[in-house]
Amino acid sequence: MWRFLGRRFVQMLITLLLFQAVTYFLIDAQPGDIADLLTLDPNIPPAERERLRAQLGLDRPPAERFITYIGNFYRGNLGVSFQEYPRPVIDIIKERLPRTVVLFLTASILSFWTGFVTGKILAWRRGGWIEYASTITGVTLYTVFTPWFALMMIWLFAVALNWLPAGKFLDPLKWLDAPISANAVFARMIWSSFFALVIVFVGFWFSNRVPRRQRLVLRAASLLVPLVGMLLYWRLSGLGFYAWDIARHLILPVLTVTLIAYGGTMLLTRTSMLETLREDYVLTARAKGLPDKVVRDKHVARNALLPVWTGLVFSLGNSVSGGIITETIFSWPGIGLTLLNSALVADIPVAMGTLTVVGVMTLISHLIADIGYAFLDPRIRYH
Amino acid sequence: MLARKWLTLWALVLIASVVLSACAQPTPQVIKETVVVTQVVEKEGEKVVETKIVEKVVTPTPEPPKEAEIGPYRIGIFEEPVSLNYWNYLGPGSSVWTSYVLTGYAASLFGLADKTFAFVPVLAKDIPEPRKEGDLWVIEVEMVDNATWSDGEPITAQDVVFTHNTCKDLQLTQNWPNSCAPLGADVTAEAVDDFTVRYTFNVTPSLGIWNAGVALAPILPKHFWEPVVKEAYSYIEAVEKPDVERPEDCEAEDLSDEEKAACEAWAAYDEAFENARKTLYEADATGSPVFGGFITDKWEPGAFVQRSQNPNYYFKGAEIIEYSDGTWVQKLPDGTVRQYYGEATGDVTLDYVSGPYAPNVILSIYGSQDAAFLALANGEVDYVLNPLGLSRGLREKAMQGEGIVAYDNPDYGMFYLAFNMRKYPMSEYEFRQAFDIIIDKEFVINNVLQGVVYPMYSTMPPGNGFWYNPAVEENHPYKGLSREERINLAVQVLKEAGWTWEKEPQWDPDASDVIPGEGLRMPNGELMPEVTILGPGPAYDPIRATFNQWISEWARELGMPVKSELTGFNNILGPVFINADFDMYILGWSLGNPAFPDYYEAFWASWNDTATSGNYNTPGFNNPEYDDLVNKFMSTTDIEEARQLCFQMQELLADQRPYIPLFYKRVTDLIRNNIELPYTEVLGGIVDAAGFQTDAKPLVK
């Protein structure tokens, strides 16, 4: 396993380098550069344009710039933004990446869980009107035009029903006298949610190893303890009001992304389950007289999980770049919006920084998928 | 099974009741009062006074009208500011979005009047006259002595000199040189006393150098920025300017040892200045005192920028009055009255009292233009700052919001067709004239574009009334011609200049159309080569793309092989502004300071030819008569003389046609009707009104 991991790590590094080379030269090949755009003003003399080009390093050949960039990158220096000069790219990424990760991680996990559970049940209970309705809904959500759907969601929940905010990260009027920044509150939200999830996960994991009677108590406790803990924490910190404002703004984009991703997961699970159901060992399990729930959940679903797992892990990797449309429509200031804006104005360091994040996330998600296979399917072994 | 059915039914009933109760109209509140009533009743033929306690339905008396409450002013923007550091804002971080959040940050000695854009004092007591001292020119400005920064510190001549010297000594970049060394002039500033600044110029302080340059320069608080500037100076203190000339190309392989040494010396010098500037541009501006009505005190990246009232704003409560005869009057709260440009005899065209009124200005950052206008319709913001123009669809969508009003104003910009006059046949006067004849602006604008823009004839937009020469449009020879007249006249002009056709273009009266010409030969006898009109594509700007296609089509009717090339903006930048290698192009300019149109030098003076100087005379227009006019224009100190020169330049350009002006846009501002603005008619739209934040009253409704 360790040899496998080592080999994969080297492969990942080479792939990342190739990816960076291709993306760098593609972005650089755009006609015009940011110095032209920033100095397109008759009051700015041409010498200033040349000085700016030299300052940004744009007067040097692309290959030389790429080598410098890569050298700096692997020393941990991602450069400074051209558009927000002289702000370091790493600061921009640190500020915006958590927002994207939270939005898409939440949506991916929710869509995976709901899609998997409903897909599993639908495949098990075939032929009813619920299956037809769910399949049509799933296909609709899977094929829907994302910008249109997102705008419809805004119209329904924010304009017509006025239940949720139309977009953005927070409501400025509520933050006028906020004692700390939104980013600090958001960071606390991430950490508190993370610890809560860890408690839930550990609690559930242990609950499978205790007698049936204590299981329910342990599970209830592992849900209640983090919930009460979170409520207490936010209440005592005095920041609950602000955390709730961010959370409220998160609902609509998460719901939209979840619904879009849900259709695909549900359909994939259903198809995968239907294929597995035809396997001989499922017939054997039924013939042995095992309860339906055990056959469905332990014999069929676990084997049907592999392609769904692949879909989930890859979607996590792609979510960083795939959020451009969602982030733009919901004014969610994440990495997707940053990538779009930087690419449009040829802000090479920021575009490269965000694309590299996308590349790294994708490579890591592939690695996680591979490792996950070994856990999910005992037949898979890496040497 | 039965239980499940009951459960479902119960859930449905519950949902239905919630929905019904949510949708139900609120019942009007009935107020009952227990009152003691004394009445006369007749009992057994006798009238008796009886007292009873009864319940009476009372109608609540309306509360007396309160003085209008003013709430926060919520503005939508759809990009982040780059920085809250003002040095950076006028340097590499220059962006329109930053300007919105930093408006009013810096002080200045002079400014421009609200609607007339006349040159008026701000912190200067009066408008001084330049005087000559030996070879030098001197302007001494006396400042008001009671203005303060937002932290209460007085604004003095030391602040003025500090800002000027920082700009000059650190060789600040981008927009800064126009403040401390406009048009390359050597300007020194010194504080005579705490409230008197003395400027010395090595050239005549013309309108371009003084009125549009040094006089409008920003002033920043010395007491806040001095430590940062000191640190920046530390990079350049030990560096001396190399006493050798800067080699042309330090990357060349065959450099001599002397050249290599010179390159190294210059590189060290440049690096020192770069580090100094970077120190300044990177500095944290949190807590910086300001001059204007609002202090930018919080920036939540990706969310909003918060501005709070400046308690020490110098002009709070000042009354500004403008008259139709051009008079500008300012009455300060301390009783000082300043009056310029007339005797206040005409009608009052503007009268308001300066704010700030709103307790806060909240600039919410949205991800896109659509999202921002959706927020306006939804009531999240009162106004959207929109430098990108507004499509009809978006306007209609936003107007569906409650209480949204639209204000249309002319933009201070120009969209034009430019010829590369360095190339044949674009260098031919009659070729450009033929284009001017065949372009039917009114047809494209009214019949194709449904009047979304306005036709333009002069190189000055009509909205800038002071500088606009109306005679150019009034005397335009081809305005209002029919299609037939245009084609016939264009053919005649070209024929007289020696152009020939194998098959001449003809007007077909039966088809009411042109039979296109073929085999067009130029005066030199050669067949006319294919020429291209570069222009932005319909996704970037459908108006320019439409003009491009119609102009190409009309030129092809004349037999000219003209190709319309619609492309990305970045693809136009190189051929037009860097290499000057194009045939024709269609683009637009935002024209900058309306008080002094120095773009007449930038765009058409021969010394600014893009091919030779890298400047912005993209057509390569080289006309000694024009150069003479523009020289006088840039060096005069007399505004009336400058105006007459500007009129002459407009006429000459309309005749020579390096540019053919096509149209100017209108700016549409959508704003909620609870925002009271001192005026809404202003060149460039509400955002160009000086006090669009400070003087707005966001009434709570």
Q: How many CB atoms lie within 10 A of CB A63?
A: 12
ipTM of the complex: 0.71
- pLDDT level of residue B53 (50, 70, 90 thresholds): low
How long a stretch of residues is chain A?
383
Report the C-alpha gap between A376 and A303 in whole angstroms. Answer: 8
Report the C-alpha gap between B262 and B253 in whole angstroms. Answer: 15
Q: How many CB atoms lie within 10 A of CB B3?
A: 7
The predicted pLDDT at position B193 comes to 93
Helix (H) or strand (E) holding A229: helix A212-237
C-beta separation of B329 from B338 below 8 A: yes
Given the structure tokens 């421009």, which residue do they identify? B112
Give per-residue pLDDT as tens, B408-447: 888 889 999 999 999 999 999 999 999 999 999 999 998 8
Q: Which of B584, B571, B538, B315 is nearest to B423 (CA)?
A: B584
Q: Which of B399, B290, B294, B287 is nearest to B73 (CA)?
A: B294
Q: What does the pLDDT average to over B87-102?
A: 87
The predicted pLDDT at position B427 comes to 93
State how far residue A148 is from chain B, nearest Cα, in angstroms: 12
The predicted pLDDT at position B438 comes to 94
| Chain A residues touching B613 at Cβ < 8 A | 46
C-beta separation of A273 from A218 below 8 A: no
Question: Can the peptide bond before residue A61 be classed as cis, meaning omega within 30 degrees of 0?
Answer: no
Q: Which of A58, A51, A47, A65 is nearest to B269 (CA)?
A: A51
- In the predicted model, is pLDDT for residue B37 greater than 80? no
The predicted pLDDT at position B28 comes to 44
Which of A43, A151, A162 is the best substitution to test chain B (most B C-beta atoms within 10 A)?
A43
Question: Beta strand pairing status for B187-193 and B196-201?
Answer: antiparallel
Report the C-alpha gap between B20 and A19 in whole angstroms. Answer: 57
- In the predicted model, is pLDDT for residue B21 greater than 50? no
Q: Is B94 left (phi over 0), alpha (psi -120 to 50) or beta?
A: beta
Which of A30, A44, A325, A335 is the best substitution to test chain B (most B C-beta atoms within 10 A)?
A44
Q: How many CB atoms lie within 10 A of CB A249?
A: 22
Q: What does the pLDDT average to over B499-515?
A: 89
- In the predicted model, is pLDDT for residue B649 greater than 90? yes
Question: B279 CB near a chain A CB, below 8 Å?
Answer: no
The predicted pLDDT at position B12 comes to 59
Instruction: Give average pLDDT by consecutive 10-residue segment, chain A, 383 residues.
Output: 80 90 86 70 70 76 87 86 82 86 85 88 81 86 87 86 84 85 88 90 87 86 91 90 91 90 88 86 88 84 81 73 77 83 82 88 83 72 62
| Chain A residues touching B84 at Cβ < 8 A | none
The predicted pLDDT at position B2 comes to 46
* Contact residues, A window 215-254, toward B, CB-based 8 Å cutoff: none
| Chain A residues touching B360 at Cβ < 8 A | 176
Phi, psi of B551 (to 5 degrees): -65, -45
The predicted pLDDT at position B294 comes to 92
The predicted pLDDT at position A289 comes to 87
Which domains, from first to last, does chain B contain? 73-282 (3.90.76.10), 294-410+668-698 (3.40.190.10), 413-665 (3.10.105.10)
The predicted pLDDT at position B63 comes to 58
Q: By CA distance, what is B182's nearest residue in A?
A: A43
- In the predicted model, is pLDDT for residue B196 greater than 70? yes
Question: A76 CB near a chain B CB, below 8 Å?
Answer: no
| Chain B residues touching A329 at Cβ < 8 A | 367-368, 370-371
Q: Verify whether the Cβ–Cβ distance B592 to A43 is below 8 Å.
A: yes
Q: Verify whether the Cβ–Cβ distance A175 to B365 is below 8 Å.
A: no
Higher-confidence residue: B578 or B313? B313
| Chain B residues touching A84 at Cβ < 8 A | 82-83, 93
Q: Verify whether the Cβ–Cβ distance A32 to B304 is below 8 Å.
A: no
The predicted pLDDT at position B551 comes to 95
The predicted pLDDT at position B24 comes to 46
Give per-residue pLDDT as tens, B285-312: 888 999 999 998 888 888 889 999 999 9
- In the predicted model, is pLDDT for residue B344 greater than 60? yes
Tell me whether residue A88 is exposed, middle or buried, using C-beta atoms within 10 angstroms of its C-beta: 0 to 12, 13 to 18, 19 or more: middle
Question: Beta strand pairing status for B73-77 and B383-384?
Answer: parallel
Report the C-alpha gap between B368 and B386 in whole angstroms. Answer: 11
DSSP 8-state class, residue B25: P
The predicted pLDDT at position A357 comes to 86
State how far residue A30 is from chain B, nearest Cα, in angstroms: 8
Question: B681 CB near a chain A CB, below 8 Å?
Answer: no
Question: B519 CB near a chain A CB, below 8 Å?
Answer: no
Give per-residue pLDDT as tens, B484-506: 999 999 999 999 999 999 999 99
Burial string for A182-219 (b: 16+ CB within 10 Å, else e) reads bbebbebbeebbeebeebbeebeeebeeeeeeeeeebb
State how far residue A58 is from chain B, nearest Cα, in angstroms: 14
Give per-residue pLDDT as tens, B622-633: 999 999 999 999
* Contact residues, B window 61-120, toward A, CB-based 8 Å cutoff: 72, 74, 79-80, 82-83, 88, 92-94
Higher-confidence residue: A375 or B551? B551
Question: A216 vs A153, A203, A210, A222, A229, CA distance in Å?
Answer: 37, 11, 10, 10, 20
DSSP B319-364: EEEEETTS-EEEE-TTS-EEEESS-S-S-EEEEEE----SSEEEEE
Report the C-alpha gap between A125 and A116 in whole angstroms. Answer: 14
DSSP B418-469: EE-TTSTTTT-HHHHHHHHHH--HHIIIIIISTTSEEE--SSS-TTSTTT--
SS (H, E, C) B497-518: CCCECCECCEEECCCCEEECCE
| Chain B residues touching A51 at Cβ < 8 A | 173
C-beta separation of B436 from B657 below 8 A: yes
The predicted pLDDT at position B567 comes to 86
Report the C-alpha gap between B343 and B321 in whole angstroms. Answer: 12
Nearest-CB residue to A43 (from B178, B368, B371): B178
User: Minimum mean pLDDT among A159-173, A259-273, B173-187, B573-587: which range?
Assistant: A159-173
Phi, psi of B398 (to 5 degrees): -70, -35
The predicted pLDDT at position B75 comes to 92
Q: Is B203 left (phi over 0), alpha (psi -120 to 50) or beta?
A: beta
The predicted pLDDT at position B417 comes to 95
The predicted pLDDT at position B547 comes to 93
Q: Verify whether the Cβ–Cβ distance A31 to B83 is below 8 Å.
A: no
The predicted pLDDT at position B25 comes to 45
C-beta separation of B136 from B130 below 8 A: no
Q: Verify whether the Cβ–Cβ distance A158 to B577 is below 8 Å.
A: no
- In the predicted model, is pLDDT for residue B54 greater than 80? no
The predicted pLDDT at position B690 comes to 65
DSSP 8-state class, residue A94: H
Task: Enumerate residues 6+ apart whose C-beta is below 8 A from A56.
Answer: A34, A35, A82, A85
Q: Which of B307, B227, B153, B68 is nearest to A172 (CA)?
A: B307
The predicted pLDDT at position B26 comes to 45
| Chain B residues touching A169 at Cβ < 8 A | 300, 302-303
The predicted pLDDT at position A320 comes to 66
Report the C-alpha gap between B148 and B145 in whole angstroms. Answer: 9
* Contact residues, A window 167-206, toward B, CB-based 8 Å cutoff: 167-170, 172-173, 175-176, 181-183
Helix (H) or strand (E) holding B372: helix B369-377
C-beta separation of B469 from B402 below 8 A: no
- In the predicted model, is pLDDT for residue B27 greater than 50? no
Question: Helix (H, G, I), strand (E, B), or coil: what is residue A39?
Answer: coil
State how far residue B350 is from chain A, nearest Cα, in angstroms: 31
User: Minimum mean pLDDT among B8-12, B212-216, B522-526: which range?
Assistant: B8-12
The predicted pLDDT at position B5 comes to 59
Q: By CA distance, what is A39's nearest residue in B?
A: B174
The tokens describing B124, both together, are 């200067």
- In the predicted model, is pLDDT for residue B583 greater than 70? yes
The tokens describing B397, both together, are 């969508």
Q: What does the pLDDT average to over B532-542?
A: 86
Q: Verify whether the Cβ–Cβ distance B573 to A40 is below 8 Å.
A: yes
